Amino acid sequence: MFVEEKGVEVNLTRIKGNKIEEISDLVARETIFTILLNKKKLVTLNCSPEKYKYLGLGFLYTSGILQKKENIISLIIDEKQGLMDIKIKGASLSPEDIINSNLWIGSYQQSEEQKETPLSIDTSLKISSGLVSSLISEMQERSNFFKLTGGVHSCALVDKQGSIILFSEDISRYNTVDKILGEAFVNDISTEDKIILTSCRITSGILKKIIIGKLSMVISRAAPTDLAIKLAKRMGITLVGFVRERRMNIYTHPQRIEI
């Protein structure tokens, strides 16, 4: 997608030292994307204007509403109106479930006392600390629109060999994860043996999406929250944050990161 479709020039006043100047600069565009599920409005998302299909299907997938592509009866994407009109079989969750964030699959929840993970994640996945650093650097290099605007988050999917196979940017950190997992879902790319890279803060909401994707490792340039750390520990996920050159913090399951 062309830069002019993702961004817009605005006029502004810039102060630099003792100098004041009137300039124009590029800022990220924000659009509205609405999902109609079985002819009812499910949710409206604020997003960057690209990859609507991956965003919509990724949102439904990480919300636990859509588990298989075979459940899709019909799908229409109207990019001009910012609309997905989808019919699926077996949709039992209401819009209130989405709004109140109560849709996370109950069978995935555990008490503090439970140590087992209910997910079939790849427990054998290991990666070197040097590769962690180089992957974050590579993701930053790919983040061209962030370099131009500073107004978007980045996310990538990495395979066992350490290659970035999917990449996405969006104004919303949640949308970046949904776009990545949605693209993997659409293209039948298994995520159980993959790694998520992200530029954003890792909250419990972000981690729940990663859990739905059955990923065993998430690596971020930013910090996690305490709830995200607790959840990652319970679910068997390696959580790495504050990656800066050769430095990083490993918050949970450090055995997957080798020196």
**CA 160 – CA 70 distance, rounded (Å):** 28
pLDDT tens digits, residue range 208-233?
Answer: 999 999 999 999 999 899 999 999 98
Total structural domains within the chain: 2
- Examine the domain organization and report whether 179 and 87 are in the same domain: no
pLDDT tens digits, residue range 79-123?
Answer: 989 999 999 987 755 555 555 544 444 333 443 434 444 455 666
**This prediction's pTM:** 0.85
Residue 8 lies in a domain: no
The closest alpha carbon to 93, from 22, 158, 155, 38, belongs to: 38
Residue 5 lies in a domain: no
- Examine the domain organization and report whether 99 and 135 are in the same domain: no
Residue 253 lies in domain: 127-258
- Examine the domain organization and report whether 245 and 163 are in the same domain: yes
Tokens 């124009």 belong to 24
* Average pLDDT of the segment spanning 234-255: 90
R_g over Cα of the chain: 19
Start-to-end CA distance of the chain, whole Å, equals 39
| Domain final residue, candidates 104, 139, 157 | 104
Question: Is the Cβ–Cβ distance between 231 and 204 less than 8 Å?
Answer: yes
